[in-house]
Amino acid sequence: MTADGSLNVEVVDPLLAQVVRNHQEKVIGWMRDEPGCWGYLAGQAVLACRTQVDRPLGHAERRLVWDRLWWLLENIKQRVLS
């Protein structure tokens, strides 16, 4: 977290990696374009980050979490398919 208590990439990325490890079946479903997988993973990611900072996330923080999660999933997908 930054000095003001907001999230940053250094805090978010390890949390997202844990979400992906804990929900591999949903990651596979996301790669197959199965309905609901993105929403589930996005929700779990926000929940993990919210738990870390012990407060609701602001709009910009949620956007950061979703952006980093999408980036992580796209990288995983690229590695799997190459």
Asked if the model's pLDDT at residue 5 lies above 80, the reply is no
6 band by pLDDT with thresholds 50, 70 and 90: confident
Ordered by start, the domain boundaries in the chain are 9-81
Residue pair 16/45 in contact (Cβ under 8 Å)? The answer is yes
CA–CA distances in Å: residue 49 to residues 13, 25, 28, 75: 10, 21, 22, 21
What pLDDT was estimated at residue 2?
57
Q: Could you read off the pLDDT of 14-65 as tens digits, one per residue?
A: 999 999 999 999 999 999 999 999 999 999 999 999 999 999 999 999 999 9
> What is the spatial distance between Cα 25 and Cα 22, in angstroms, rounded to a whole number?
9
> What is the spatial distance between Cα 67 and Cα 82, in angstroms, rounded to a whole number?
23
